[in-house]
Amino acid sequence: MSKESATQFYEHGRFKVAGGVLPSAITAYRTYGDPKNPCIVFPTCYGGRLDSQDYMIGPDKALNPEVYYIVTFALFANGESSSPSNTRAPYNGPYFPDVSYEDNIRAQYAVLTKKLGISKVYSVIGFSMGGPKSALLASKDFEDGHYKGPPQRGIRAFGRAYSAWAYGQTWFRNKSYLHDGLYDSLNSFLREEWEAGFLDTWDANDMITLINTWQRGDVSLVRHGGNFEACMADIKAKALVMPSKTDLYFPPEDSEIEMSLMKNNQAKLVVIDSVWGHMAGGGSNAQDDEFIKEAVIKFLGSP
């Protein structure tokens, strides 16, 4: 790992969040490129860590650190920034307070302005946020968040439920899960990719807190009193919206509604024509990565 992309930690001290307060809040982040270049902010997605952002960062990728100064941020509860799993009592585990998107943005703003000296952001880019929490909450070994060891039943059920929504039906029909012979069955793919992926690296309370952040994330509440239509119409920033054609989480039809409400004529909808469902946007395959790269570079233009 290069020195400039090593994980750094910003200590906020006592930090108010939606559900109360964090006495010693920390935001984890990485930087790539020259801070004199235009700044692009790239927060982690659900199930994402800072090292998982690299699929879009590089001289030959969508975010070129030779052209931009890229700052990746770990969301609260991702296990790197302040989270239920790494916060000491009395706010550890299930006692960790609810955190909103606004809380994350305030924390990231503090890092940008107070630590990195950034006063203007050229663009913000991101992938996904969400998951099926009932599969985890309902498991008998989750114990309302007071588990003594990893709740294996719940996390395994969560991973399988999540995967069913993450991929398009065509992807399953084509047996794409075999990955050209790497897996001998759908069950082995689910066990190694989805069950193990969460069991090996994720704390259950972290997962639940991140889901709560997503489920309570209504951008229209801050300035528009919950009026979604008015909120969309008030957006003045240029936007590139890229859903996958086969996404079962966030289908393109949802994005079409959003686009119809954004009246500034600077928003562009580009549908990823992929069989990879929701995962098309997460660095899952080279073909979709290239499509996204070309669209992002064209959208960003010359800084």
pLDDT along the chain (303 residues), means of 10: 75 98 97 97 95 94 97 98 97 97 97 97 93 91 95 94 84 87 92 92 96 93 93 93 92 94 88 94 93 96 83
* pTM for the full predicted model: 0.93
Q: What is the CATH number of domain 1-129?
A: 3.40.50.1820
Give pLDDT, residue 228.
95
Please report, for residues 89, 163, 176, 177, the alpha-carbon distance to residue 173 in angstroms, rounded to integers and kept in the order given: 48, 14, 8, 9
Give pLDDT, residue 3.
45
Give pLDDT, residue 151.
96
Q: List the chain domain ranges.
A: 1-129, 130-217, 218-303
Residue type, 189: F
Same fold yes or no, 1-129 and 218-303: yes
**Distance between CA atoms of 171 and 207, rounded to whole angstroms?**
26
Give pLDDT, residue 4.
58
45: nearest Cα among 143, 135, 166? 166
- The DSSP output letter for 115 is I
**Distance between CA atoms of 251 and 59, rounded to whole angstroms?**
31
Architecture of 218-303 per CATH?
3-Layer(aba) Sandwich (3.40)
**Distance between CA atoms of 151 and 112, rounded to whole angstroms?**
37
Q: Are strands 239-241 and 267-269 parallel, antiparallel or unpaired?
A: parallel
Strands (E), 84-231: 123-124
